[in-house]
Amino acid sequence: MIFVTVGAQMPFDRLIGTVDAWAGSRGRRDVFAQIGTTPLIPSHIEWTPSIDPDEYRERILAARVVVGHAGMGTIISALQAGKPVIVLPRLGALRETRNDHQVATARYWGEHASVTAAADERELVRQLDEIDALGSQPKITPRASDEMIEALRSFIAEPAKPSGLTGSPELA
């Protein structure tokens, strides 16, 4: 299956409309999409407005390829599961999110072997046409960089502040 997800925050009709039209014109019957709460009714793909974390996990694991917005939840979840992922960034100018941070995310992660970033709908269609050539990828470790883990560990190990409600000793 191809698992399409727009994330939990808001719909992304430009992505869903493009995938739906692509599936229709290519006769694909292997697409399942989580589309958010939107008036858009896809015609050619299976869909649901929202899914809970359990089903999200299962859909990612069962997917051959993930297609989504350029959200870090989508990208990290795909990378941790070893799935190739195609992302279309939400644009601030189209009010698809608050700013163009997903454009920067797509530009950066598009360099990763597991991630294909589409600039726009036409490019997305070209990439969807190549989707059967995408194979499974090495899973990334589910762990932050050593530098960050170490920084947090040493911060946590520091002594408590002298004042404050939890800073005072309690009687054993």
* Nearer to another protein (CB atom), residue 41 or residue 52: 52
Return the structure tokens found at 3: 């698992």
Return the structure tokens found at 77: 């979840």
* Nearer to another protein (CB atom), residue 94 or residue 148: 148
When asked if residue 151 is in the footprint of another protein (CB under 8 A), the reply is yes
Helix (H) or strand (E) holding 76: helix 72-81
User: Distance between CA atoms of 54 and 84, rounded to whole angstroms?
Assistant: 20
At residue 2, what are phi and psi to the nearest 5 degrees? -100, 120
- Which 23-82 residues touch another protein, going by CB under 8 A? 52-54, 71-74, 76-77, 79
Binding site for another protein (CB under 8 A): 7-9, 52-54, 71-74, 76-77, 79, 100-102, 104-105, 108, 140, 142-153, 155-158, 160-161, 163-170
